[in-house]
Amino acid sequence: MSETPGSETPGSETPGTPVVRVVGLHREYGREAGLVRAVDGVDLEVAAGETLAVMGPSGCGKSTLLHLLGGLDRPTAGEIWLSGQRVDQMSERALGRLRRDGVGFVFQAFHLMDELTAVENVELPALLAGRSPRAARRRAAELLDRVGLADRASFLPSALSGGQRQRVAVARALSNDPLVVLADEPTGNLDSEATVDVLRLFEELHEAGQTLVVVTHDARIAATADRLISMRDGAFVDETRLTGGSSGQLGALAGLEG
């Protein structure tokens, strides 16, 4: 309990160290009759390279959980570790650094800066992290190319479609090579075609070994995960591994059998 932030040697984590480890996590709001247990006793481990989806009805606490993981909010009780580093007790400054360098966020409403072009949005985290403008621009251009928007680099967000904006947001989330990408309803504002673009992009990230945690109630994006957790009333109620499953018969899906 008395460990101070940063007391772990950087890079000391062994290959088996989970990227995310959460123990006995609670987040409460209000008090007495108005007490809300948004996160009510959650334990979780996410392995390196794993894609985890958390599903549940609105108000089940899944967004609060994501905010806690990314250091946007602090728990009432419990521990949060990212790659062997305890983050829930970090100083504000250390937490700010973690949000900038260790975590990539993707939000439902994109949260791009309207007055900056696509490439400027993407390079911003790298500039804030102290990289040279040239290195930051080069990296941003690479990332835009990776999300298929190299030709839109100089466009303002207002000139992009919803799906394109979300792809810019994903590129921005990758800017500082985060330990984990945290996505909150990434397809919530997208039509079906743009959703498929984001699905493809997430699959590519997964193949490239990026650790991903997605909270959503879009079954399509949840179905791309390795593992799915259902959340209700602040707690995990069901967990399932979607990879290596039992079904495996596309013909049955088409109703061709029997």
Partner 1 sequence: MQQEVVLALLAKEPSHGYELRARLGQALGPLGDSMNAGQIYVTLARLEKAGLVTSERSAGLADRPDRKVYELSAAGQLRVAGWLAEVSWPKPDLTEFHLKLVAAAAAGLADPVAMVDTQRRELLRRLREAQRAAMAEPDGSAAGLLLEGIVLRLQADLRWLEECERNWTGRRRPS
Q: C-beta of 231: minimal distance to partner 1 in Å?
A: 12
119 vs 215, which CB is nearer to partner 1? Answer: 215
Burial 30-68 (b: 16+ CB within 10 A, else e): eeeeeeebbbbebebebebebbbbbbbeeebbbbbbbbb
Q: C-beta of 99: minimal distance to partner 1 in Å?
A: 31
Using DSSP's 3-state secondary structure scheme, residue 55 falls into strand
159 vs 252, which CB is nearer to partner 1? Answer: 252
Q: C-beta of 39: minimal distance to partner 1 in Å?
A: 18
Q: C-beta of 235: minimal distance to partner 1 in Å?
A: 12
CB 37 within 8 A of CB 55: no
94 vs 242, which CB is nearer to partner 1? Answer: 242
Residues in the site for partner 1, rule: CB under 8 A?
57, 196, 199-200, 203, 217, 219-220, 222-224, 228, 230, 232, 237-238, 240, 242, 245-257
111 vs 220, which CB is nearer to partner 1? Answer: 220
Q: C-beta of 238: minimal distance to partner 1 in Å?
A: 4
Distance, in Å, from the CA atom of 215 to the CA atom of 217, rounded to the nearest integer, reads: 7
123 vs 185, which CB is nearer to partner 1? Answer: 185
Q: Which two tokens stand for residue 1?
A: 């309990």
Indicate the pairing of strand 51-55 with strand 85-86.
unpaired
CB 190 within 8 A of CB 167: no
